[in-house]
Amino acid sequence: MKVKVIVTLKNGVLDPQGKAIQQTLNGMTFDNVSEVRQGKYFDIEVNESDESKAKSQVEEMCKKLLANLVIEDYKIL
Protein backbone atom coordinates (compact mmCIF):
# COMPACT_ATOMS: atom_id res chain seq x y z
CA MET A 1 0.00 0.00 0.00
CA LYS A 2 0.99 3.60 -0.47
CA VAL A 3 1.78 5.75 2.55
CA LYS A 4 2.10 9.51 2.29
CA VAL A 5 4.34 11.56 4.54
CA ILE A 6 4.80 15.28 4.97
CA VAL A 7 7.92 16.61 6.68
CA THR A 8 7.92 20.22 7.80
CA LEU A 9 10.18 22.45 9.83
CA LYS A 10 9.16 22.80 13.47
CA ASN A 11 7.53 25.99 14.59
CA GLY A 12 10.14 28.58 15.46
CA VAL A 13 12.82 27.10 13.20
CA LEU A 14 13.97 29.64 10.65
CA ASP A 15 12.89 28.78 7.09
CA PRO A 16 14.84 31.08 4.76
CA GLN A 17 13.41 29.44 1.61
CA GLY A 18 9.86 29.88 2.85
CA LYS A 19 10.66 33.51 3.66
CA ALA A 20 12.05 34.10 0.15
CA ILE A 21 8.95 32.52 -1.40
CA GLN A 22 6.71 34.68 0.78
CA GLN A 23 8.54 37.86 -0.24
CA THR A 24 8.35 36.87 -3.91
CA LEU A 25 4.61 36.23 -3.63
CA ASN A 26 4.18 39.64 -1.96
CA GLY A 27 6.12 41.20 -4.84
CA MET A 28 3.78 39.48 -7.33
CA THR A 29 0.86 41.38 -5.77
CA PHE A 30 -0.21 38.53 -3.48
CA ASP A 31 -0.10 41.07 -0.67
CA ASN A 32 -2.12 39.02 1.77
CA VAL A 33 0.47 36.24 2.14
CA SER A 34 1.95 36.71 5.60
CA GLU A 35 3.98 33.50 5.91
CA VAL A 36 5.17 30.52 3.83
CA ARG A 37 6.71 27.41 5.36
CA GLN A 38 8.26 24.97 2.90
CA GLY A 39 8.24 21.21 3.51
CA LYS A 40 8.82 17.83 1.86
CA TYR A 41 6.30 15.27 0.64
CA PHE A 42 7.00 11.52 0.26
CA ASP A 43 4.96 8.83 -1.50
CA ILE A 44 6.13 5.52 -0.10
CA GLU A 45 5.03 2.20 -1.60
CA VAL A 46 5.27 -0.43 1.14
CA ASN A 47 4.79 -4.11 0.36
CA GLU A 48 2.38 -4.57 3.23
CA SER A 49 -1.41 -4.90 3.06
CA ASP A 50 -2.10 -4.21 6.74
CA GLU A 51 -2.49 -0.44 6.99
CA SER A 52 -1.47 -0.07 10.63
CA LYS A 53 1.64 -2.23 10.10
CA ALA A 54 2.62 -0.21 7.04
CA LYS A 55 2.13 3.05 8.88
CA SER A 56 4.11 1.95 11.89
CA GLN A 57 6.98 0.96 9.56
CA VAL A 58 6.82 4.37 7.91
CA GLU A 59 6.85 5.98 11.32
CA GLU A 60 10.17 4.23 12.02
CA MET A 61 11.46 5.48 8.64
CA CYS A 62 10.48 9.02 9.57
CA LYS A 63 12.31 8.86 12.89
CA LYS A 64 15.42 7.23 11.48
CA LEU A 65 15.85 8.94 8.11
CA LEU A 66 13.07 10.99 6.53
CA ALA A 67 12.95 13.69 9.21
CA ASN A 68 15.63 15.12 11.44
CA LEU A 69 13.79 15.59 14.69
CA VAL A 70 16.10 18.40 15.80
CA ILE A 71 14.35 20.76 13.40
CA GLU A 72 11.60 18.81 11.62
CA ASP A 73 8.20 17.28 12.37
CA TYR A 74 6.57 14.57 10.28
CA LYS A 75 2.96 13.77 9.58
CA ILE A 76 1.80 10.45 8.14
CA LEU A 77 -1.33 11.06 6.08
Partner 1 sequence: MKSSVIIFPGSNCDRDMNVALNKFGFKNQMVWHNDAEIPKSDLIVLPGGFSYGDYLRCGSIAGKSRIIKSVVNFANSGGLVLGICNGFQILTETGLLPGILQQNKYLNFICKNVFVKIKNKENKYFKNINKEVLELHIAHNEGNYFCSKDELKSIEDNGQIAVTYCDDKGNEDEYNNPNGAIKNIAGIFNKDKNILGMMPHPERMIDPFLSGEDGSLFFENLIGNV
> CA distances (Å), 59 to each of 1, 26, 29, 36, 72, in order?
15, 36, 40, 26, 14
Q: Does 13 bind partner 1 (CB under 8 A)?
A: yes
Among 2, 27, 35, 70, binds partner 1 (CB under 8 A): 70
Per CB under 8 A, the segment of 25-33, 43-51, 52-60, 63-71 that binds partner 1 is 63-71
Cα gap 77→74, rounded to integer Å: 10
The enclosing H or E element of 15 equals none
Among 2, 11, 14, 77, binds partner 1 (CB under 8 A): 14
Range 18-57, binding partner 1 (CB under 8 A): 20
